[in-house]
Amino acid sequence: YLNHVGDAYDENGEEVQQVECVMATNIPNEMDQVEDSHICVVMVGLPARGKSLIAQKIVRYLRWLSVNAKSFNVGSYRRADTPHPSAAFFDTSNPEGERLRRAAAEAAVTDMLRWFEHEGGHVGILDATNSTQYRRKWIKERCDAKGYDVLFVESKCDDEDLIMSNILEVKTTSPDYIGQDPEEAARDFRDRIRNYEKVYQTLTEPDLTYVKLINVGSQVVINQVSNYLQTRIIYFTMNLHITPRSIWLSRHGESEYNVLGMIGGDASISPRGLAYADALPGLVRDSIGDKDVTLWTSTMKRTIQTARHLPYRKKQWKALDELDAGVCDGLTYEEIEKKYPEDFRARDDDKYNYRYQGGESYRDVVIRLEPIIMEMERGENIMIVTHQAILRCIYAYFMNIPQDQSPWMEIPLHTVIKLTPRAYGTVEERFKANIPAVSTFRAKYTSANMGGEEGLEDMTDESNMMSPPPTGAEINGIVKPDDVESFVPQKHPDPMVPVLL
């Protein structure tokens, strides 16, 4: 990590001398730090530099890790009074514009401080340009007065083509320009940027804690970091990229244990599972094409067997092994209900937090998957062949599914799920093989798997591709800043939990 950021240069290619790079290496009690943390993450940068996208991704990542995080987008507050401003509104010589922009920032900061104080917030993100030293000093003073830490995250980008494509991709469809001609909207947005450029000051304040991401993280400057949660956030932002890519997810083919209704184990795949392994290269051929794909499996026989005909670079991860069912490994759900009735009930009451005796909970799985998610953020095209519980956790990360729902999601056998991250959303497609398999899904407060079989439909090539699910905050993964999220993760009763950070 330190090597990765050690060679820091500023935007003129000069080695950074004035900034001291301090990383926390010896934190006595990380857990306490997270529980007691109040961090205001202040985004910094000119318009169309991906600030909102980065803010939303930090929120999604932290919530997945059970940290109460929320983004406060100043643009949404400004829109209440000035829904369709022209570029002139953002000219600092326009006193009315200045007054209204200051009021919007004031309202957002006030709401964020209230959220920390009254709603158990841990990481609040102030999503605005915050592009002058004066504005940053003011925010810092407001947070200092309450004893909250402040981490500035700047996105600096001088790639004109990228900025133009950002404007066309997300700005011309912004609510600011509703009903306007996209070309005119793009022109106005460029003028807006020019107005910001007149006063923009990149982060250089020596006493502030910050990370500066230059040209989508191709250079990173870090200053004065002293707190564990801040290092997690910084490390996460350093791994983000915007190269278009997709992720293909599949469970292993039906296993011998699946056929018998038994959980866990390290069984081989059944004859129908073998048929799925044979069909898998054809099932993904069209959507993968000649893309460079890395294939990840768990270390268990059933995923390795399923992936064996796929012609991609392969890597096995222990972290992708199925949730450990402890003393219940090798039992059917009916047997568990008979042998461990209290456990069986407790698991259904709170499936995310229930930990099998001698085994794991979904929460434990998320902790061990964190490095996998980090690798996935850093990587490009990846196909993963793994297990039901693991896929639920990975899917929940990308699609922003709350913890009370994620362990109950149906992830059928013999189906490939393709996820394509986009600005403010993840597009989902499903490809179903025409190979039957048992259903391993058990509904809440029932003791047997849902009868029947999956994958029976006779799919033609064209009908193979199911349309993406409806868009919306829960499904789409990343929400537009205008749809301010309402989901706040539950606080976990187990005090050990924050150790994951």
CA nearest neighbour of 264 among 385, 416, 440:
440
The rounded distance, in Å, linking the Cα atoms of 208 and 222 is 10
User: Is residue 44 a contact residue for ligand F6P (CB under 6 A)?
Assistant: no
User: 409-428 mask for ligand ATP (x: CB under 6 A)?
Assistant: --------------x-----
CA 153/CA 213 separation, integer angstroms: 8
Residue 426's binding partner out of ligand F6P, ligand ATP, none, with CB under 5 to 8 Å set by partner kind:
none
Quick one: which segment of 70-78, 161-169, 343-351, 360-368 binds ligand F6P (CB under 6 A)?
70-78
Restricting to residues 425-444, which ones interact with ligand F6P according to CB under 6 A? none
User: Who contacts 303 (Cβ-Cβ below 8 Å, separation ≥6)?
Assistant: 252, 297, 320, 385, 386, 387
Smallest distance from ligand ATP to CB 179, Å = 19
In the set 10, 30, 127, 188, the catalytic residue is 127
Question: What's the helix, strand, coil split of the chain in %, to 5?
Answer: 40, 15, 40
From 42, 62, 69, 105, residue interacting with ligand F6P (rule: CB under 6 A): 105
- Measured from the Cβ of residue 349, the count of other Cβ atoms closer than 10 Å reads 11
The reply to whether 252 belongs to the active site is yes
Q: What angle do CA 98, 100, 105 make, to 5 degrees?
A: 95
Q: Least distance (Å) from ligand F6P to the CB of residue 254?
A: 50
Does 128 bind ligand F6P (CB under 6 A)? Our answer is yes
- Piece in contact with ligand ATP (CB under 6 A), picked from 131-139, 165-173, 345-353, 371-379: 165-173
Quick one: tokens of 303?
């995923």
Our finding on whether 87 is near ligand ATP (CB under 6 A) is: no
**Is 387 an annotated catalytic residue?**
no
Q: Report the distance separating Cα 56 and Cα 61, nearest Å.
A: 9
Q: How far is CA 444 from CA 52, 275, 347, 435, in A?
A: 37, 31, 9, 27
CB of residue 451 vs ligand ATP: minimum separation in angstroms? 45
Does residue 127 carry a catalytic annotation? yes
Compute the distance between CA of residue 256 and CA of residue 441 in angstroms, rounded to an integer.
16
157 binds ligand ATP (CB under 6 A): yes
Contact yes or no for 247/284 (Cβ under 8 A) = no
Strand intervals (E) in 116-209: 123-127, 149-156
- Indicate whether 192 belongs to the interface with ligand F6P (CB under 6 A): yes
By the rule CB under 6 A, 103 interacts with ligand ATP: no
Q: Does 162 bind ligand ATP (CB under 6 A)?
A: yes
**What mask, x for binding ligand F6P by CB under 6 A, covers residues 133 to 172?**
----------------------------------------
From 252, 370, 387, 428, the catalytic residue: 252
Angle at 59 between CA 57 and CA 64, to 5 degrees: 95
**Binding of ligand ATP by 216 (CB under 6 A):** yes
Contact present, 388 and 364 (Cβ < 8 Å): no
Q: From the list ligand ATP, ligand F6P, none, pick the one residue 57 interacts with, judged by a Cβ distance below 5 to 8 Å according to partner type.
A: none
Chain position whose Cβ is nearest to ligand ATP: 50
Q: Which string of x and - marks every residue 47-76 that binds ligand ATP (by CB under 6 A)?
A: xxxxxxxx--------------------x-
SS (H, E, C) 60-87: HHHHHCCCCEEEEEHHHHHHHHCCCCCH
Q: Which of 188, 254, 322, 485 is catalytic?
A: 322
Interface with ligand F6P, residue 101, by CB under 6 A: yes
Q: List, by residue number, the catalytic residues.
A: 127, 252, 322
The contact set with ligand ATP (CB under 6 A) reads: 45, 47-54, 75, 129, 155, 157, 162, 166, 169-170, 213, 216, 242, 423
